[in-house]
Amino acid sequence: MRVLMVNSEDSWRGGEAQVELLIRGLVERGIETKLAAPKTSELARKVEAMGVALLPLPVSGGLELRAVRRLEHWLRREKFDLVHCHSSRAHGIAWCALAVSKRDKRPKLVVSRRVDFPTSPHGFRGWKYRR
């Protein structure tokens, strides 16, 4: 199995610590895992120190078309089985990249939310979480 973790946050908080632990556990079990994240993030630094490949994700706020294009390229090239998103922005980027992907067999999408408030039923956010 080939897994791509996607995290759009540049900060280091509890969610990023959870992603680091999850990646560590997958690698220890022999599951090929890579991380798509901002190259300047603390998570990227820690994961690269583990020997896990980083796919730099250009996240700067807004619509993130560069990030969508970059992620879609990696999805085509790397042929992941599973894409696991760890933030709302990462989810939006991955969802768009998968939607425009030219691959015949798309990877499964998993989204982890670490907040207890409901998503808005309106707009793109509501739509993407219902899919």
Distance CA 117, CA 122 (A): 15
CA angle 74, 60, 49 (to 5 degrees): 60
Split at pLDDT 50, 70, 90, the class of 87 is confident
Asked if 87 contacts 112 with a C-beta cutoff of 8 angstroms, the reply is no
Q: What is the pLDDT of residues 5-61, one digit of tens each?
A: 999 999 999 999 999 999 999 999 999 999 999 999 999 999 999 999 999 999 876
Mean pLDDT estimate for the chain:
87
Domain ranges of the chain: 2-130
Query: Residue 39: what pLDDT?
Result: 94
CATH 3.40.50.10320 fits 2-130, yes or no: yes
Query: Residue 98: what pLDDT?
Result: 92
pTM for this prediction:
0.86
